Amino acid sequence: MKLAIHGVTGRMGLSIVRAAQAAGHQIVGGACAPGDAAVGRDVGELAGLGSLGVVVSPDVASALLGAEVVVDFSTASAVPGLVSVAARAGVAVMSGTTGLDTAGEAALDRAAGSVPVLWAPNTSLGVQVLAELVEQAVRRLGQAFDVEILEVHHRRKIDAPSGTALRLARAAKAGRAGLEEVHARDGNVGARKESELGVVAVRGGDVVGDHTVFLLGTGERLELTHRASSRELFAQGALAAARFVCGKPPGRYGFKDVLA
């Protein structure tokens, strides 16, 4: 594949540079935010690989020149502009940026009318399977079991709850109608309602990402946990998703389509 990376100077962006080079893909462009201190530097040198002849640019359109797919790990506010440029350029989109609002979701939908767009809040194969297990477990255990989600991430993560926690919450709600998300609790909130789906975010240290879904019954509980020990697994998943979406017809795709 010929790849452009949007958000190339971030930790995920640089992980994807390394994974793409190891897999034999060609990096043709790297985009960053205006004012980034790495503007003009070689993406390979930033990733510790030596010069690749591709410099970091704040100009998204120029970074996408010659690309088949753009892999995006940036910020929610940058996604609408990226997908608009990608749609005009005919470049497929694989985005793992979380925290999108309704405007960001609408931008993905518009771009999907022209190019294939795959958005995933988590590019781990294990997390996708976890979501499928959560939906099945919630459906099978029924209302006798309360559902709570706990996620833990490093101190630098800017959005809460995590996109993965929200993905798992959607899986739980698919398994049982009527569940309503409650993000943390504070004060005299009263007894837990049967319809509550608690989601709690913990931040600290250098934790890559831990997610646990608790199904709490009377006299027993089930805990479904995924722990990420390296960002490289997300980079490998992102490349798998990029390979999947490359050459697909225009439309919206998800990570479940990659596994299927």
pLDDT per residue as tens digits for the range 20-62: 999 999 999 999 999 999 999 999 999 999 999 999 999 999 9
Q: Which residue has the tokens 């980079």?
A: 235
- Residues of the chain with pLDDT > 70, as a percent, come to 100
Q: Which residue has the tokens 């930033």?
A: 46
* Helix then strand then coil, % of the chain, to nearest 5: 35, 25, 35
Give CA–CA dist 201/172, Å, rounded. Answer: 17
pLDDT of 72? 98
Q: Are 211 and 164 in contact (CB under 8 A)?
A: yes
Measured in degrees and rounded to the nearest 5, phi and psi for residue 70 equal -110, 130
**Has 226 been annotated as catalytic?**
no
Range(s) for CATH 3.40.50.720 in the chain? 2-119+232-259
Cα R_g (the chain), whole angstroms: 19
Give CA–CA dist 86/83, Å, rounded. Answer: 5
Give CA–CA dist 154/186, Å, rounded. Answer: 23
The active-site residue, picked from 25, 153, 211, 226, is 153
The active-site residue, picked from 157, 173, 183, 248, is 157
Alpha-carbon torsion 175, 176, 182, 188, what sign?
A: negative
Range(s) for CATH 3.30.360.10 in the chain? 125-228
- Residues of the chain with pLDDT > 90, as a percent, come to 93
Q: Is pLDDT at 230 greater than 90 in this prediction?
A: no
Measured in degrees and rounded to the nearest 5, phi and psi for residue 136 equal -65, -45
pTM for the structure as a whole = 0.81
Q: Are 237 and 89 in contact (CB under 8 A)?
A: no
**Has 153 been annotated as catalytic?**
yes
What 3-state class would DSSP assign to 36?
coil
Q: What mean pLDDT comes out for the span 225-235? A: 91
Q: What mean pLDDT comes out for the span 216-233? A: 94
The class level of CATH for 2-119+232-259 reads alpha beta
What would be the CATH architecture of the domain defined by 125-228? 2-Layer Sandwich (3.30)
Mean per-residue pLDDT of the chain: 95
Q: What mean pLDDT comes out for the span 148-163? A: 94
Alpha-carbon torsion 16, 70, 118, 207, what sign?
A: positive
pLDDT of 98? 87
Q: Is pLDDT at 121 greater than 90 in this prediction?
A: no
Token digits of residue 114: 């022209």
Is-cis flag, bond preceding 161, omega within 30?
yes
Give CA–CA dist 38/198, Å, rounded. Answer: 40
